[in-house]
A and B are shown apart, each in its own frame.
Chain A
Amino acid sequence: MNILEVRNLRKRFNLEAGFFARFGRFVHAVNDVSFSIGENTTYGLVGESGCGKTTTARMLVRMYEPDSGAISFREKEDVLAYGSRSLKAYREKVKYVFQDPARSLNPRMSVFDVLTSGYRNSSLWPGRKAAREEAGAILEETGLSFADLDRRPTEFSGGQRQRISIARGLIMGPDLLICDEVVSALDVSIQGQILNLLQDIRERRKLSFLFIAHDLKVAGYFCDRIGVMYRGEMMEEADARDLYRQALHPYTKLLYSSVARIGPNADGASADGHGAVPSGEIGSSSALTEGCAFAARCPLADGRCRSERPELLDAGNGHRVRCFKA
């Protein structure tokens, strides 16, 4: 069963704000994105800054309202039709773990208050004493200790703060955890600890994850399935292990070949690529181009790519790609 299904999600933001804003200049942050997350699986969204990964994830918990599209929970509930009461219950089942533990944890609150601030206003609140036991147990599950409940987030290192963030995500027993770049700001040695912790949690609690990352090695290691986004569109989607072995989209190949490598790992994706350094930068997505979003930077692009938008088509084995040339 799919825990979450997303169909044709779109979101655009007005570039100008305020009373005198001229209407009609938009950023198409997310454009026609569809994917599903199976039960007890991990779906990865990868792509570079501004590709729409975080906007997509925030729409899933309705921090942003999509302009159009559909989100269904457990294949039956329409998330976009929820009233405030059902939305609150849904947000207890789908928790968001933020990117930056230094800024997403209130430094004036104790760890216990940080962990339980949402819990306290929920229908699940068991009372302060029982909640303290639960919060302490979850801290221990994430590698901290019971006594840390009374300390403040600023007393902890970056990796420990990310453990607190994860504990906060787990306290209401969610079904799906949205992890937005949770290891990006951490040192390599600490990143490994957090990834192993998430792996233990995934096994123990049979959780599903939406895992947002810009690091292809981390995403390829941790995810079951990966969607590659570029300028708000899903360019390619495949099982994590297939994507590394056989990237089809020129943009995915570019991403793989851009990663520095040396020594025994210096083969693979870069060998079949063009070796040349990619040129150009990610353009603004303010104007919807008629053709493929990647055409301006793509070494293979021709007239058709610039005038006609390719569809996301199945290339076999559940591998989907949005490219005329693949």
Chain B
Amino acid sequence: MLIADEPTTALDVTIQAQIVALLKRIRATRNVSMIFISHNIDLVADVSDDIMVMYGGLAMETGRSVDVVTSPVHPYSRALLAAAPVFGGHYSLSRLASIPGKVPDPGDLPPGCPFAPRCEFATAACEAGIPDLRLASPQRYVRCVLYPEKKA
């Protein structure tokens, strides 16, 4: 088991690609498992089979990497993926969907869902308590009052 904590964060992209290839090779040849930690969600999705999106100390959404990145469910995952520019995007075509507010101080978290103060869908229910991580679709868990439990 290898825990790789932001192993490429300070590196240039071409070197990052080499390190990622090295990690993938090690995983295949040595048959190890890996936890890959990064703030770059595209990179995490590229390296990992399963992904966990965290915010304010909590898992907000988990699932298969491809599924989470291509069809995020939680408002935070959706906003995070929409906030980064993509190839082919241009300021003359569209504005970036930015997330208002700032990342909460881990010592002073808001009551209830930590993302609620920045969430465009937030209601009074979000501040009442921390929602449970519930099954939203097969292999997909989401911590949000908008997604009541479904039968898998």
Say yes or no for A281: interface residue by CB 8 A criterion. Answer: yes
Contacts known (A48-B12, A193-B98); A279 close to B18, Cβ less than 8 A: yes
CB neighbours (8 Å) of A268 from chain B are: 87-88
Q: Is the CB–CB distance between B13 and A48 below 8 Å?
A: yes
CB neighbours (8 Å) of B136 from chain A are: none
Q: Is the CB–CB distance between B80 and A260 below 8 Å?
A: no
CB neighbours (8 Å) of B98 from chain A are: 189, 192-193, 195-196
Say yes or no for A221: interface residue by CB 8 A criterion. Answer: yes
Query: Taking the nearest CB of chain B, how far is it from the CB of A246, in angstroms?
Result: 12
Q: Is the CB–CB distance between B90 and A262 below 8 Å?
A: no
Q: For chain A residues 268-289, which have a beta carbon within 8 Å of chain B?
A: 268-269, 277-279, 281-282
Say yes or no for A264: interface residue by CB 8 A criterion. Answer: yes
Q: Is the CB–CB distance between A220 and B87 below 8 Å?
A: yes
Closest to A218 in B: B85
Q: Is the CB–CB distance between A263 and B13 below 8 Å?
A: no
CB neighbours (8 Å) of B34 from chain A are: none
Say yes or no for A159: interface residue by CB 8 A criterion. Answer: yes
Q: Is the CB–CB distance between B45 and A217 below 8 Å?
A: no
Closest to B47 in A: A260
Say yes or no for A240: interface residue by CB 8 A criterion. Answer: yes
Q: Is the CB–CB distance between A258 and B85 below 8 Å?
A: no
CB neighbours (8 Å) of A196 from chain B are: 95-96, 98
Q: Is the CB–CB distance between A221 and B13 below 8 Å?
A: no
From B63-71, B120-128, B140-148, the one touching the partner chain is B63-71
Closest to B19 in A: A277
**CB < 8 Å: which of A187, A220, A269, A279 contacts B103?**
A187
**CB < 8 Å: which of A218, A256, A261, A281 contacts B42?**
A261
**CB < 8 Å: which of A195, A217, A263, A279 contacts B69?**
A263
Query: Taking the nearest CB of chain A, how far is it from the CB of B140, in angstroms?
Result: 15
Alpha-carbon distance A157/B103, docked complex (angstroms):
9
Query: Taking the nearest CB of chain A, how far is it from the CB of B4, in angstroms?
Result: 14
**CB < 8 Å: which of A159, A192, A278 contacts B102?**
A159
Closest to B82 in A: A192
Interface string of A17-52 (1 = CB under 8 A from B): 000000000000000000000000000000011000
Interface string of A182-217 (1 = CB under 8 A from B): 000001111111011001000000000000001011
Query: Taking the nearest CB of chain A, how far is it from the CB of B44, in angstroms?
Result: 8
CB neighbours (8 Å) of B88 from chain A are: 220, 241, 244-245, 268
**CB < 8 Å: which of A221, A245, A256 contacts B85?**
A221
Interface string of B74-105 (1 = CB under 8 A from A): 00000110011111111100011111101100
Interface string of A133-174 (1 = CB under 8 A from B): 000000000000000000000000101100000000000000
Say yes or no for A112: interface residue by CB 8 A criterion. Answer: no
Q: Is the CB–CB distance between B43 and A260 below 8 Å?
A: yes
CB neighbours (8 Å) of B46 from chain A are: 260-262
Seed contacts A214-B12, A264-B70; 5 additional CB < 8 Å A-B pairs? A195-B98, A220-B87, A244-B88, A260-B20, A262-B42
B interface residues (Cβ-Cβ under 8 A, vs A):
12-18, 20-21, 39-43, 45-47, 65-66, 69-70, 79-80, 83-91, 95-100, 102-103, 118
A interface residues (Cβ-Cβ under 8 A, vs B):
48-49, 157, 159-160, 187-193, 195-196, 199, 214, 216-218, 220-222, 240-241, 244-245, 254-265, 268-269, 277-279, 281-282
Residue contacts A-B, CB under 8 angstroms, 20 given: A160-B102, A187-B103, A188-B80, A188-B83, A189-B103, A193-B100, A214-B13, A218-B85, A222-B91, A258-B17, A259-B42, A260-B43, A261-B42, A261-B87, A262-B69, A265-B42, A265-B87, A277-B18, A278-B17, A282-B14
10 A-B pairs with the lowest CB-CB distances in the bound complex, closest first:
A221-B85, A192-B98, A48-B12, A263-B70, A189-B99, A192-B83, A258-B17, A260-B46, A260-B43, A258-B13
